[in-house]
């Protein structure tokens, strides 16, 4: 079968690789669509965002990793008779599975398990010829981790269910209450999904920022209350004036730069919550008075399985829109072109690229 194999930093090749047979707990999917997400760009550069988020340090990526964890497909084969009802079903895949033994798994915080196996990330697996991923004609998945898709969700829309579940989890971590104000720093796909989930949860107003006009155009299309171009506007005095210096109740930083962290801390309300969606090793200074009052700073990691069910409901009901986020589609053979489009957003105006095997 054809698959997009990451062989090293900035080196991805579509190759013929063996198709894996199903083992006992697996289903084999014929992939219908797979999204290129922001973390895939980091893997492409040689980074390992999963390791930074989950282990707290960098781990080199293997040279035989098939990329892609945002995918859906049709169940082509199963590993045991109990899963035969899945055959022919169109499904989304929850792309990670945890050990079930550690303290995090046993206390319901399995999204923090350090022994996670992750499709498309090469994480947590025993050595194998090629680590599985969704940028391929076929991909194995755990039969217990597939979700049948309703007709209201198309194949392309289903590729957003993984980041949408991450957005649902981030909003739950923030302890957002209806009527509170929300600011999302960065209007890439995950930022726009968080903004929509916050709005669906009763937040008002929902404000988002970006440097690129295309992202802000899409934000308006999906109903975000106030998109702000931070290339043209000084964000902090604008929002402090608008809130009579009260600040914003909940802020999500999807950028993780020194500038966005400074903006977030200066704008955070006295009892507000800042949720950081990015992990890196940079040192970012702050003053103790930046977290005075009862301000909270937290991270958000992966999602819980129930968040997937919420994501499916939000997408199927239309409360979250994702079609406007799709700007480009490429064939599997042209996957390198898809990465190039996203790496040059200023010229390509790319926001979300879908790979169609």
User: Can you give the CATH number for the domain in which 201 is found?
Assistant: 3.40.50.720
Same domain, yes or no: 130 and 48: yes
Same domain, yes or no: 116 and 263: no
Number of other CB atoms surrounding residue 332 within 10 Å: 20
Q: Which residues have a Cβ under 8 Å from the Cβ of 317 and sit 6 or more positions away? A: 152
CATH number at residue 150: 3.90.180.10
Whole-number average pLDDT of the chain? 94
Kindly state the percentage of the chain with pLDDT values over 90.
83
Kindly tell me the burial class for residue 101, based on how many C-beta atoms sit within 10 Å of its own C-beta (0-12, 13-18, 19 or more): exposed
Same domain, yes or no: 224 and 178: yes
pLDDT given for residue 189 in this prediction:
96
Same domain, yes or no: 187 and 106: no
Average pLDDT in the 218-246 region?
97
Residue at 143 is within a domain: yes
In angstroms, the CA 239 to CA 208 distance is: 12
Same domain, yes or no: 131 and 269: no
292 lies in which domain range? 167-299
In angstroms, the CA 221 to CA 322 distance is: 10
Average pLDDT in the 290-314 region?
95
In angstroms, the CA 131 to CA 119 distance is: 8
Average pLDDT in the 157-163 region?
98
Residue at 315 is within a domain: no
Find how far residue 196's CA is from the centre of its chain. Answer: 14
Same domain, yes or no: 131 and 209: no
In angstroms, the CA 193 to CA 323 distance is: 12
pLDDT(282) > 90: no
pLDDT(315) > 80: yes
Residue at 340 is within a domain: yes
Same domain, yes or no: 352 and 278: no
pLDDT(55) > 80: no
Residue at 223 is within a domain: yes
- What phi and psi values does residue 347 have, to the nearest 5 degrees? -90, -40
70 SS3 class:
strand
Instruction: Select from 299, 314, 338 the last residue of a domain.
Output: 299
In angstroms, the CA 335 to CA 355 distance is: 7
Please answer whether residues 145 and 97 qualify as being in contact, where contact means their C-beta atoms are separated by less than 8 angstroms: yes
Task: Please give the DSSP secondary-structure letter assigned to residue 131.
Answer: B
Residue 48's pLDDT band (cuts 50, 70, 90): confident
Closest-CA residue to 169 (of 69, 277, 272, 48) = 277
Q: What is the pLDDT of residues 186-227, one digit of tens each?
A: 999 999 999 999 999 999 999 999 999 999 999 999 999 999
pLDDT(52) > 90: no
Residue at 336 is within a domain: yes
Please answer whether residues 25 and 87 qualify as being in contact, where contact means their C-beta atoms are separated by less than 8 angstroms: no
Same domain, yes or no: 57 and 88: yes
Residue at 312 is within a domain: no
Instruction: Select from 284, 299, 314 the last residue of a domain.
Output: 299
Please answer whether residues 324 and 221 qualify as being in contact, where contact means their C-beta atoms are separated by less than 8 angstroms: yes
pLDDT given for residue 281 in this prediction:
73
Residue at 317 is within a domain: no
Kindly state the percentage of the chain with pLDDT values over 70.
99
pLDDT given for residue 95 in this prediction:
95
In this structure, is the dihedral angle defined by the CA atoms of residues 115, 59, 344 and 206, taken in order, positive or negative?
Answer: positive
Residue at 111 is within a domain: yes
Residue 91's pLDDT band (cuts 50, 70, 90): very high
Please answer whether residues 273 and 300 qualify as being in contact, where contact means their C-beta atoms are separated by less than 8 angstroms: no
State how many domains the chain has.
2
In this structure, is the dihedral angle defined by the CA atoms of residues 242, 226, 37 and 328, taken in order, positive or negative?
Answer: negative
pLDDT given for residue 72 in this prediction:
98
In angstroms, the CA 140 to CA 20 distance is: 7
pLDDT(123) > 90: no
Kindly tell me the burial class for residue 103, based on how many C-beta atoms sit within 10 Å of its own C-beta (0-12, 13-18, 19 or more): exposed
Q: Residue 245, by phi and psi: left (phi above 0), alpha (psi -120 to 50) or beta?
A: left
pLDDT given for residue 288 in this prediction:
84
Same domain, yes or no: 123 and 271: no
Same domain, yes or no: 233 and 173: yes
Same domain, yes or no: 187 and 141: no
Same domain, yes or no: 292 and 252: yes
Please answer whether residues 189 and 351 qualify as being in contact, where contact means their C-beta atoms are separated by less than 8 angstroms: yes
Closest-CA residue to 329 (of 178, 154, 74) = 154
């Amino acid at each position: 079968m054809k698959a997009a194999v990451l062989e090293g930093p900035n080196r991805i090749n579509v190759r013929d690789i063996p198709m894996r047979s199903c083992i006992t707990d697996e289903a084999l999917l014929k992939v219908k669509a797979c999204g290129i997400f922001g973390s895939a760009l980091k893997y492409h550069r040689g980074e390992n965002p999963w390791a930074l988020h989950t282990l707290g340090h960098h781990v080199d990526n293997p040279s035989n990793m098939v990329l892609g964890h945002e995918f859906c497909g049709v169940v082509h084969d199963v590993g045991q008779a109990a899963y035969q009802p899945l055959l022919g079903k169109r499904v989304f895949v929850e792309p990670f599975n945890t050990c079930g033994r550690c303290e995090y798994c046993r206390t319901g915080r399995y999204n923090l398990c350090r022994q996670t196996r992750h499709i498309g990330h090469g994480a947590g697996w025993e050595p194998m010829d090629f680590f599985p991923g969704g940028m391929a004609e076929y991909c194995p998945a755990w039969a217990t981790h597939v979700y049948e898709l309703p007709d209201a969700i198309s194949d392309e829309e289903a590729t957003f269910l993984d980041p949408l579940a991450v957005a649902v989890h981030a909003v739950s971590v923030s302890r957002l209450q209806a009527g509170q104000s929300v600011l999302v720093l960065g209007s890439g796909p995950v930022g726009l999904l968080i903004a929509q989930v916050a709005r669906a949860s009763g937040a008002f107003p929902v404000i988002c920022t970006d440097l690129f006009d295309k992202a802000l155009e899409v934000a308006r299309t999906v109903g975000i209350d106030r998109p702000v171009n931070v290339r043209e506007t000084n964000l902090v005095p604008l929002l402090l004036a608008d809130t009579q210096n009260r600040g914003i109740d909940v802020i999500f930083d999807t950028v993780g730069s020194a500038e966005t962290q400074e903006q977030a801390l200066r704008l955070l309300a006295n009892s507000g919550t800042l949720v950081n969606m990015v992990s890196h090793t940079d040192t970012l200074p702050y003053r103790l008075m930046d977290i005075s009052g009862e301000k909270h700073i937290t991270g958000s990691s992966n999602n819980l399985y129930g968040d997937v069910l919420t994501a499916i409901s939000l997408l199927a009901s239309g409360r979250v829109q994702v079609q406007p986020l799709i700007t480009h589609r490429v064939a599997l053979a042209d996957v390198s072109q898809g990465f190039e489009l996203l790496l040059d957003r200023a010229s390509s105006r790319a926001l979300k690229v879908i790979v169609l095997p």
